[in-house]
Amino acid sequence: MNEMKPQKRETLLTYPVKEHGTFLATRVKGADARRALEEQLTAAAPVALLTIDFGGVEAMTNSFVDEFLGKFYLLLAAGDVSADGVRLVGLDEETREGVTVCLERRKQVAVDGDTHELLGDASILAGTYEEARRLGDFRAAELAEALGISLPNANNRLKRLVEAGALYRERSAGPERGGKEFTYRLATAGDGRGGM
Amino acid sequence: MLLELAGRHPLLRDSLAIQSTDDSRIVLDARRLLFASPLDLTATAAIAHAHAAVGAQATLLLPDSKDVTAYVQRMDLLKALPSGTHVEGKVPEEIRSDRSATLLEVAALRPDTADAISEGLGRVATQHLGPRDGRRVFKGIGELIDNAISHGASTCGAFIAAQAYSGKTTGYRRLEIAVCDTGIGVLTHLRRNPEHAHVTTSAEALEHAVRPGVSGTRDTRGNGLPDLLAGTSDTAATRLVLRSGDGLLRAGRLRRAAVTRSLSTRAPVQGTWSWLRVSYRP
């Protein structure tokens, strides 16, 4: 494993969805909630870990979830908003199902911070994420070897996990082979080590 | 124009009992109404407001049945009618108690009222049907609310009402909800998306609207009604009736069995009317 640079980003931000209501129905509401989240994220930047807390939410329509969460993850993947790590907590059986359906439709993934599982379009990435959790800090080549897949394949999977805030990446302190190389770690709170 | 509301659930029938008149006013004749459902109430409010918006006066003839009239009053239909509406019939004195656990009175559904209405309906659903089924049913109700807010906007607004039934007479615990908007209707909305420009009738548009991923926008959406039908509950009998323009769609689902049928009617409506009923064995 590589020796990591001291972590600069320590801000932890928790976003309680319940502040917008316990029964959440409309896309208008979802857009309001997303904009408020964007504003808080921008004001608190740089953010090491964003926790989106669904605790206390009784029910949400898939339309609300899509407008709030689906479009938020689009912004995250596009780099329009930034957080080293993003996790969802406080989901129950019903709300988790709605989140999963919406992420699948947009072919997105998100980390369930309570179960440490990937939600959404995770059929391929679930095993990759599990291996990443086992490795801790690692390079793409190490993951490729552990999974028995090609390096480009590993890089593609890692790109999606980074875009979803499941993993954090940074340039290696001293690349042994020169050129661009990244090390990856779980996007976590506090000291930046260990699982979420 | 005269629209007669007679018997039970008159607005769920294939053809509405409409007669043309010489003037522009609308007469809503509920004298022979035997049972007032959320759809009867919200549609009455929507029609009256749509006519008021073009300067036409509405007249409501109250039900002959004192019980039905008392219910119409309790559900705040008279308050929801536009000023200037002429109401004929005797309005009984009202002794009002809090029934917020079992009903939602006729209310204007707008972006600024949708949140409070959603919270209220969520409480009705979970208290009446239990937490698990109530939350699932709310997701369906919420999609109807979202449709009215997102696609049914108009200066006349949309109206919503709901009623929970205990099942003492029918043998089923039920929740009924109706949303009637006075917007552009499903056909016009759908045709805004070039992918659906070939759709020419309201009946066809309604059939498209209950298919996954069909939307009047080009965004990744259009799953509200399919999600409603698929997810209301795995144990409930679900009925959804939509009217828009001259189209009428009936959809039903019981466990994994589902049926959908649409047709063109002789009497078009302005905007979109939605009626949802979920039924559970006690």
DSSP helix/strand/coil, A157: helix
- Report the CATH number that the domain containing residue B175 is assigned in CATH: 3.30.565.10
Residues of B in contact with A29 (CB under 8 A): 114-115, 118
pLDDT digits (tens, 9 = 90+) for A119-139: 999 888 999 999 999 999 999
Yes or no, beta carbons of A63 and B224 under 8 Å apart: yes
pLDDT > 90 fraction of chain B, expressed in percent and rounded: 63
Chain A residues with beta carbon closer than 8 angstroms to that of B222? none
| pLDDT tens digit sequence for A88-102 | 999 999 999 999 999
Residue-level pLDDT at A190: 44
Model confidence pLDDT, tens digit, residues B235-269: 788 999 999 999 999 999 887 788 899 999 988 99
Residue B138 has its nearest CB partner, among A23, A29, A66, at: A23
Confidence of residue B154 (pLDDT cuts 50, 70, 90): confident
* pLDDT for residue A179: 65
Interface contact A58-B114, CB threshold 8 A:
no
A9-122: CATH topology is: Transcription Regulator spoIIAA (3.30.750)
- For CATH 1.10.10.10, the residue range(s) in chain A are 124-188
The rounded distance, in Å, linking the Cα atoms of B86 and A162 is: 64
Task: Give the pTM.
Answer: 0.89
Across the interface, of B115, B136, B145, the residue whose CB is closest to A94 is B136
* Contact yes or no for B126 and A62 at CB 8 A: no
The highest-confidence range among B10-19, B152-161, B210-219, B238-247, by mean pLDDT, is: B238-247
- Tokens representing A86? 């993003």
**What is the pLDDT averaged over residues A104-108?**
93
CATH architecture of the domain formed by A124-188: Orthogonal Bundle (1.10)
Task: Outline which parts of chain A fall under CATH 3.30.750.
Answer: 9-122
- Over range B118-122, report the average pLDDT: 97
Give percent of chain B above pLDDT 70. 98
Give the tens place of pLDDT for each residue, A5-58: 444 557 899 999 999 999 999 999 999 999 999 999 999 989 989 999 999 999
Candidates A22, A23, A24, A27: best to mutate against B (most CBs of B within 10 A) is A23
Q: What is the pLDDT at residue A188?
A: 67
B12 min Cα distance to partner chain A (Å)? 26
Q: Could you tell me the CA-to-CA distances from B268 to B4, B15, B29, B159, B185 in Å, in that order?
A: 15, 9, 18, 18, 11
Chain A CB contacts of B234 below 8 Å: none
Calpha distance B215→B226 (Å, rounded): 11
More confident residue, B22 or B124: B124
The partner residues of A170 in beta bridges, in order of sequence, read A183
- B 147-166 → A contacts, CB under 8 A: 149-150
Give the residue from A26, A34, A102 with the most B CB atoms within 10 Å of its CB, the best one to mutate: A26
For residue B72, list its beta bridge partners. Answer: none
Give the tens place of pLDDT for each residue, B72-101: 999 999 999 999 999 999 988 888 899 999
Taking only the tens place, the pLDDT of each residue in A46-63 is 998 999 999 999 999 999
- Asked if residue B156 has pLDDT above 50, the reply is yes
Number of domains in chain B: 1
Structural domain boundaries enclosing B138: 2-280
Please give the pLDDT value at position A175: 54
Ranges of beta strands (E only) in chain A are: 11-16, 23-24, 47-53, 59-60, 85-89, 109-112, 117-120, 138-139, 167-171, 182-186
Q: Provide the pLDDT confidence category of residue A107 given band limits of 50, 70 and 90.
A: very high
Asked whether A68 and A98 are in contact (CB, 8 A), the reply is no
pLDDT at A160 over 90: yes
Is the pLDDT reported for residue B277 higher than 60?
yes
Measured CA to CA, the distance from residue A61 to residue A44 in angstroms comes to 29
**Who wins on pLDDT, A179 or B135?**
B135
Instruction: State whether A28 and B224 contact (CB < 8 Å).
Output: no
Question: What is the three-state SS of chain B?
Answer: CEEECCEECHHHCCCCEEECCCCCCEEEECCCEEECCHHHHHHHHHHHHHHHHCCCCEEEECCCCHHHHHHHHHCCHHHHCCCCCEEECCCCCCCCCCCCCCEEEEEEECCCCHHHHHHHHHHHHHHHHCHHHHHHHHHHHHHHHHHHHHHCCCCCCEEEEEEEECCCCCCCEEEEEEEEECCCCHHHHHHCCHHHCCCCCHHHHHHHHCCCCCCCCCCCCCCHHHHHHHHCCCCCEEEEEEEEEEEEEEEEEECCEEEEEEEEEEEEEEEEEEEEEEEECC
Q: What angle do CA B83, B110, B152 make, to 5 degrees?
A: 100
pLDDT for the residue numbered A3: 42
- Contact list, A64 vs chain B (CB under 8 Å): 142, 146
Number of CB atoms found within 10 A of residue A117's CB = 14
